[in-house]
Structure 1
Amino acid sequence: MAQQPKHAGLFLLLAIFLLSLNLRPAIAAIGPLIQSISQHAGIKSVGISLLTTIPVLMMGLCAIYATYIRQALGERNGIAMGAAMIAAACLLRLWGENAYKLFGSAVLVGLGIAVIQALLPGFIKRNFGAKTSSVIALYSTGIVVGVTIGSGTASWLEDRLGWMSALAGWSIPAAVAVFVWLLASRNSLYERRSSFTATATRGAPFWRIARCWSLLLFFGVGTGAFMLAMAWISPFYIGLSVTKGEAGILLSVLTVVQALTALWLSFSIDRFPDRRSLLVVSLLLVAFGFLLLIIAPLAAPYFAVSLLGGGIGILFPLSIIVAMDHLKSPTLAGNFTAFVQGGGFIIASLVPLTAGSLLDAFNDLSSIWLLMVIASLGMLVLAVRFSPKSYVQFQQDLADVQSEERQAA
């Protein structure tokens, strides 16, 4: 980590955690409020899915341009701006009585989240060095905890304040995160705003290397499972005549297990320099969790959602960590992670949208659960190839491609 007093390092970790807490509640709170949003804003299942899909799509599109964002805003100010956008978008939902206003806030939420996610991994690697994996796991834990709080409190807040205020309330912790971040990051290492150059903006040619695409696909499937569970577990069980309260508890169990698993990973990740065993376990847990939703959703619902929570709690942070493992340079690793997240989020954005479309067409979600079972098992083929030795080969392949491009230029 950068040389600075211990308390300053802990304060920076707190700021990162607070930022991460705000990266999903604006999306996670949608699921438990589907009935009210549908009734009062006149939005059907596909439209509800868009409230999840739009932010994730924005995350993907903006991540592709991470190099431009880093140059235009700098890391520290860009991250603060992203959090401020989330706060503003949530506040706008106080006036979200129709679909267009909700969709507009979803776009702004997605942009804010995207800017933070594009810049923060590189910042973390720059400041925490050998502890990067643990801090990324803590950052991912914060995301999952935010999901837990956002989904778990949505119905409670709705009963007391109304559904629009329940959504808008997340502007407060986002504003707090901006304030703490600006204080904590004052003396940190960060890439500053810079002028545009043809070489810099072009970025590294990640797209020319097969490993980049396999990591992108892997992240897409893992994040797709995360977004699907977050958006549709509660509505799925409500559709099976489970009470709204119990459906909310099931989602809370999923997210609590997910948060605890991600927290365990943040403390244990250094014991697994070869990440493949964890990846395989997580994929199997996700596959079996979705399988139970197909064959016996009411026989053991808490077991099914616990499997999903445990699997996603490992898979989601690991998909970021493994991408970061491939490169040593903080800036290059940040750009590479943004490339992986960019395409991965675009893939993931299609998953809840597909679920909403299938639900409208067939009044059933079994087909999307089956697709996720197949996708999770299929990812095992990729996971077993992500060995530490392959990182060295990847670095050589990237250097060769960069050399070829310099010679061609």
Structure 2
Amino acid sequence: MREQARSTLLLLLVVVMALNLRPILTSIGPLLEAIRQSTGIGYQQAALLTALPVLCMGLVPLLQPWLRRWVSEQGAMLAGLAAIALACAWRLTLDSAAALIASAALAGLGVACIQALMPGLVNRWFPHRLAMAMGVYSAALMSGGGAAAVLGPRVAEQFSHWQAGLGIWLLPALLAFAVWAWVRPQLEAAVGGAGASGHLFGSRRAWLLAVYFGLINGGYTSMVAWLPAYYQQVGGSAQGGGELVGLMTVFQVAGALGLPLLLRRLVDRRPGLWLALTVQLAGFVGLLLAPAIAGLWVALIGFGLGACFSLSLTLTLEHLKAPASAGALAAFVQGVGFIITGIVPYVTGWLRDVSGDFQASWLLLSVTVLLMLLVTWRFAPSGYAQAMGMPLIRESDARAGMAPH
């Protein structure tokens, strides 16, 4: 019973931390027109409000093998929370495009510090229930994003300031600080264990996993960045655009939590990924061929994106048995992957500018998903060990202070 209570507390901490990792992205889109009218920010600059945090999510994990020499896991998590809280508090008062972009960078650094560590910690805390725990983590992460998209415009309208719709997400950060203080005794007992040193830049499988993660999740940043604009372009409202992102999030949560649980007895993650990618592909093709029923296609895209995020991280962690080495691999995959994910909305936005509508953007995302369906064949569980013959030192060597070969 005592072990069950400890696991419950740690899972609660996972949830409240994850809730803080997406509002900085999803709160922008529904309020973009109000922000542009107030600050004069252009569309190209506005893209930085999404792209900068995502690029931070990519760069910080790549530096993790060196950063951990100076910052502990708990220190990095608390610093990340503090950066998110400070950025949200700043957004309550700022009134310029430059300050808004700077707050996006600060919040992105905070998210990156937390997000780089969470998969490894989840793997360490829940080694026998990894698929379930990653599903809960992914669902909470996406729920925070959906709540920000839906509630941000309402809060802004209530207070007659768009700044309130962005800054209100200070509250989940304060909640996470409170839960952290409550769970800390259990955390100190659970976090121990040295992280793997060395890096994975020489591993072909690590690069494949990273590119795969980045491309199958590139649809998320594109949808967050451009779905509200697409909806307003076809005659909808800002609130309606936010609600469409909220609808996508509901199905993301269902996909992130439901599909891994449904397939938890399968050792092979490929059937789940094939299903999730096929559903996602159907959604993008639907936007191309029948945009009048966008709600249905957005729901399918959301389900596919949610399941892909959870399953691809689980797939990554399962490539290595040692928790610290698996966490290092997950950090690398997220690092490179989120750089790719951050570039995708720039490309889809450029396609919208040159073509005059979003059809070319949806076509590009459809082709990308189709390619990833084919790449998924490579991830047979029987090939994990051979594929991960790489210059990452063993945990026993890391504890002994040995350098990588």
- Name the TM-score, length of structure 2 as normaliser: 0.92
Offset, 1:219: 0.6
Residue aligning to 1:359: 352
| Contact 2:260–2:272, Cα closer than 8 Å, also in 1 | no
For residues 3-402 of structure 1, the aligned pairs below 5 Å read 5-161=3-159, 162-188=161-187, 189-191=190-192, 203-204=198-199, 206-265=200-259, 267-298=261-292, 300-395=293-388, 397-398=389-390
| Contact 2:260–2:311, Cα closer than 8 Å, also in 1 | no
Provide the rounded CA distance (Å) in 1 between the counterparts of 2:260 and 2:14.
14
Provide the rounded CA distance (Å) in 2 between the counterparts of 1:19 and 1:70.
20
Offset, 1:220: 0.4
Offset, 1:385: 1.6
Residues 49-97 of structure 1, C-alpha deviation per residue, up to 9 Å, x if partnerless?
1100000000100010122233322112211221121111111111231
| Contact 1:290–1:369, Cα closer than 8 Å, also in 2 | yes
Return the letter of the residue paired with 1:398: M
| Contact 2:10–2:186, Cα closer than 8 Å, also in 1 | no
* Secondary structure class of the residue paired with 1:326: coil
| Contact 2:203–2:391, Cα closer than 8 Å, also in 1 | no
- 18-27 vs 185-194, greater mean Cα deviation: 185-194
Return the letter of the residue paired with 2:380: S
Residues 288-338 of structure 1, C-alpha deviation per residue, up to 9 Å, x if partnerless?
21122222211x212111110111111111121111110111111111111
Return the letter of the residue paired with 1:71: R
Structure 1 residues 408, 220: closer, same or farther in 2, change over 3 A?
Answer: closer
Q: Structure 1 regions of 5+ residues with no counterpart?
A: 195-199
| Contact 1:136–1:321, Cα closer than 8 Å, also in 2 | yes
Provide the rounded CA distance (Å) in 1 between the counterparts of 2:270 and 2:50.
30
* Secondary structure class of the residue paired with 1:208: coil
* Secondary structure class of the residue paired with 2:213: helix
Offset, 1:191: 4.1
Q: What's the % identity of the aligned pairs?
A: 34
Provide the rounded CA distance (Å) in 2 between the counterparts of 1:29 and 1:264.
25
Provide the rounded CA distance (Å) in 1 between the counterparts of 2:108 and 2:136.
21
Offset, 1:4: 5.3
Offset, 1:407: 11
Provide the rounded CA distance (Å) in 2 between the counterparts of 1:192 and 1:14.
21
Provide the rounded CA distance (Å) in 2 between the counterparts of 1:347 and 1:399.
24
Offset, 1:183: 2.5
* Secondary structure class of the residue paired with 2:264: helix
Return the letter of the residue paired with 1:9: S
* Secondary structure class of the residue paired with 1:32: helix
| Contact 1:69–1:78, Cα closer than 8 Å, also in 2 | no
Provide the rounded CA distance (Å) in 2 between the counterparts of 1:164 and 1:287.
36
Provide the rounded CA distance (Å) in 1 between the counterparts of 2:8 and 2:403.
45
- 77-86 vs 54-63, greater mean Cα deviation: 77-86
| Contact 1:90–1:168, Cα closer than 8 Å, also in 2 | yes
* Secondary structure class of the residue paired with 1:129: coil
Offset, 1:401: 9.2
- Name the TM-score, length of structure 1 as normaliser: 0.91
| Contact 1:45–1:360, Cα closer than 8 Å, also in 2 | no
Return the letter of the residue paired with 1:121: P
Q: Structure 2 regions of 5+ residues with no counterpart?
A: none
Provide the rounded CA distance (Å) in 1 between the counterparts of 2:123 and 2:313.
12
| Contact 2:216–2:372, Cα closer than 8 Å, also in 1 | no
Return the letter of the residue paired with 1:184: V
Provide the rounded CA distance (Å) in 2 between the counterparts of 1:408 and 1:193.
15
Structure 1 residues 130, 193: closer, same or farther in 2, change over 3 A?
Answer: closer
Offset, 1:269: 4.4
Provide the rounded CA distance (Å) in 1 between the counterparts of 2:183 and 2:11.
9
Provide the rounded CA distance (Å) in 2 between the counterparts of 1:408 and 1:111.
28
* Secondary structure class of the residue paired with 1:72: coil
Provide the rounded CA distance (Å) in 2 between the counterparts of 1:326 and 1:242.
45
Offset, 1:392: 2.2
* Secondary structure class of the residue paired with 1:73: coil
* Secondary structure class of the residue paired with 2:126: helix
Residue aligning to 1:197: none
